[in-house]
Amino acid sequence: MKNRLILLFFSASLFIGSGAVSSEPIKKNRQYYEERKDIIWEVKTDQKLIALTFDDGPDPEETIEILDELKKYNAKCTFFVIGKRVVEYPDVAKRVVAEGHELANHTYNHVYFKKSSLLSEVIQELHQTETEIMKITGFKSTLFRPPGGIYNDNVILAAKKLGLMPVLWSWHQDTRDWSKPGVNAIANKVLKNARNGDIVLMHDQVHGHSHTVQALKKILPELTKRGFRVVTVTELINSDGARQVGK
């Protein structure tokens, strides 16, 4: 009897050690999605390229002022637009595209998707924005940024169904310009942390007086002085030798 119990204990130990018992739940964090190439945060490249991105527009004043500054330095950027604002300010959206910048999807109503958000709801938000972008500019966007940087499986699946690549931003390049921290705070955030392949988060629609345009007047000449070229996210992704972080 004693030998039998020892044998059973030994067999159970082998069973557990073999991994037959279910493992811990998969942590669907940045590393998980990056390794699957489902989301881009930044791009590894030896080239001095950096992507400035602007969320929540278009805006009839701020976007125009930003475009004027970008033109001075031949900088090309990506604007993650809200669908209903594209409808409201079609001429601004057209100018973004006409001047060689990139329009990308930021949902129609700036919805913060939750885990409980239905796939159909996410698809509707993205599809409605794509419809308006195409109708007004004649171009289809290829990138999508979820409001608040909130992502989950349904958000990623919806984007894939519509042929959109989810793009967030370099963690060290969140300027928090929406909180109006001051011109120098925004400029220093970008310039002190500038690295090849960065994707910088900014906004071209901020309630109240924005500091972003004035910050750009410091950022753009300094980046140029350092030899950086400011490009769209798509150009950054497709640049020679570029590889998405996680590849």
One-letter amino acid for residue 26 of the chain: I
Q: Which of 101, 106, 203, 211 does the annotation list as catalytic?
A: 203
Distance (Å, whole) CA 53 – CA 154: 24
58 Ramachandran zone, left/alpha/beta (phi>0; psi -120 to 50) = beta
Distance (Å, whole) CA 203 – CA 205: 6
Judge whether 55 counts as a catalytic residue: yes
Q: Which of 55, 56, 59, 204 does the annotation list as catalytic?
A: 55
Neighbours of 228 (CB within 10 A): 20
Judge whether 203 counts as a catalytic residue: yes
Q: Counting Cβ atoms within 10 Å, is residue 6 exposed (0-12), middle (13-18) or buried (19+)?
A: exposed
127 contacts 111 by C-beta, under 8 angstroms: no
Neighbours of 242 (CB within 10 A): 18
Catalytic positions are 55, 203
